[in-house]
Chains A and B, each alone.
Chain A
Amino acid sequence: MTDLAHPAWVYLAGALLAAVVPRRGRVPLLLAVPGAALALGLWLPEGRETAARFLGQEVVLLRADRLSLVFGTVFVIMGLLGTVFALHVRERGPHVAAFAYVGSALGVVFAGDLLTLFVFWELMSVSSAFLILQRRTAKALAAGFRYLMVHAFGGACLLAGLLLRAAAGEGLRFEAMALTGATALILLGFAVNAAIPPLSAWLTDAYPEGTVTGSVFLSAFTTKAAVYALARGFPGVELLVWAGAVMALYGVVFAVLENDIRRLLAYHIVSQVGYMVTGVGLGTALAISGTAAHAFSHILYKGLLFMATGAGAPGRGGVDARHGLRGDVPPHRAQAPVLHLFRGGSRGPPAGAPGEHAPGHGSGGRPLRRHRGRAGVPLPDPPVPGGLRAVHRPPRRHHPPAPARHRGRVHAAGAASRRRADRDPRHRLGVPPGGSAPAGVLPGVGAGERPGDGRPRAWDRPAAGGSGAQARPVAAPSPWATGW
């Protein structure tokens, strides 16, 4: 029975349940599913493999080695934090999509063969698209459709590559692969999801258009699952070093130039994934360990940033990095340092700037002074005590209708429900960031052996045969070397 234990099954079953459970039972379900998956992910013993036969092929549904366990661990942590952040959302759809998305991402990192990987890969693409589409604005629908098309292309490349590989009798085991025609297609499929330029436009197009809670999930899973797939399948491929270096610079240049804060963060994802792709391209034990450690922290801090900036942008046009909050909700205390960074320490928005509270708009026409601290950041109201209770029972406050500048919405009912869901988002900034920030410190303070400590490791050996062009490291059975 324990051989069937797989965190992905928990999330996928949770997605089915979330589609039918009535509203009264939804919050317990939303806490139980990621909680159970977290317990299961942390409990999974290293070395476990679960195989089954499917369509005449042996498929490895679960392979828990040190590399997959690192990514699996941070995925179950982020799944819990993201779900708690989204607890207040009343619609079923976002929860179903988020659970299916997290479950399929876990399926990808624990997949031991290419067929299993492909099935979860496609499920991940489709479910994540709904996190964008459910924002129901014209821009979100268009971006979500483009997102689907790009990922359909990536998935088709992956499928073609694995079929060619199977036809050539090379097997479907998901391990380090020499670069051939078939595996080049697989690499292209991974590159789409890793947002390697020129295949990166989907990310900065779609992530800022996702729902506030959906973008928190989006920032964590798709690109990092692709980084895992690259680290597993193509460590030491020199092309990735160059591609990653281009990503790192391309992403940061556009992030510096960007004013919409969620798009800025999306460009920053491209930049940071560039470091990871470079590490995979280097392919040594130290580089792969650094890649995994960076991915671990990046998932947590980027999720935290999307929580902070998304909560400050309650569906009212985002946060403009030049002027601070563009919406009308004073930020939570936890947001203030983040907003300070993006505002360059300015003393509040200039008169007439989007962040300024206009009469009859914003906080009900109340005087600005009442909400302004010394440094120009509006002060929060007294914090609501009560931990989780405060998370899903926000204080009711008055909000006026959306201003005329948001005329791009298509479905009035959808926009109304989105406004309901996004009402007063400050309450979200309690438990999830409180868990995300300390968890992000884990890789840095973890005891145990450190990468590059001089001890010989199996994956430092050059591959026997390989592509012939260069000595590539063998697929690491346990490339994560820090051992925390």
Chain B
Amino acid sequence: MTPRGLLWIAFALSAAVELLLPAAETSLPWWHRTPAFHAAYGLVGCMLIVVVAKALGRYWLQRPEGDDD
């Protein structure tokens, strides 16, 4: 089993638990009790963080390659 394989298995198990065992806490709003809501929320949130951070880096925070001033 390669490390990458282990990571995929852990990822699949986490997603399956989210899908099969949604939050049962009745005090939460309905969307928190939707199956796989937190998995999808986490995935989209992380993708947004990466995309926005890369965009901030490209257009604002980072200097272009070769600029060694």
Contact = CB atoms under 8 A, between A and B. Distances in A.
Interface of A: 252-254, 256-257, 336-337, 340-341, 345, 373-375, 377
Interface in B1-52: 2-4, 6-7, 49-50, 52
Nearest to A373: B2
A256 B3 contact: no
Given A252-B53, A256-B49, 4 more contacts: A256-B53, A256-B57, A257-B54, A375-B3
Contacts of B56: 253, 257
A336 B49 contact: no
A200 to B, nearest CB: 15
Given A252-B49, A257-B62, A340 B54 contact: no
A256 B50 contact: yes
A395 B54 CA distance: 42
28 contacts: A252-B49, A253-B52, A253-B53, A253-B56, A253-B57, A253-B61, A254-B53, A254-B61, A256-B50, A256-B53, A256-B54, A256-B57, A257-B53, A257-B56, A257-B57, A257-B61, A257-B62, A336-B3, A337-B6, A337-B7, A340-B4, A340-B7, A341-B7, A345-B4, A373-B2, A375-B3, A375-B4, A377-B3
B47 to A, nearest CB: 11
A324 B59 CA distance: 26
Contacts of A375: 2-4
Contacts, number: 36
Residue from B2, B3, B61 having most chain A Cβ neighbours under 10 A: B3
Nearest to A257: B57
A377 B7 CA distance: 14
Nearest to B2: A375
A341 B56 CA distance: 22
Nearest to B61: A257
Contact of B3 (A253, A254, A340): A340
Contacts of A340: 3-4, 7
A297 B7 CA distance: 20
B54 to A, nearest CB: 7
Most buried by A among B6, B53, B61, B62: B53
A213 B6 CA distance: 28
Contacts of B57: 253, 256-257
A484 B6 CA distance: 30
Contacts of B52: 253
Contacts of B53: 252-254, 256-257
Contacts of B7: 337, 340-341
A375 B3 CA distance: 8
Contacts of A257: 53-54, 56-57, 61-62
A373 B3 CA distance: 10
A374 B2 contact: yes
A345 B11 CA distance: 14
A11 B53 CA distance: 42
B60 to A, nearest CB: 10
Contacts of A252: 49, 53
A345 B3 CA distance: 10
Nearest to A374: B2
Contacts of A337: 3, 6-7
B41 to A, nearest CB: 16
Contacts of A345: 4
Contacts of A253: 49, 52-53, 56-57, 61
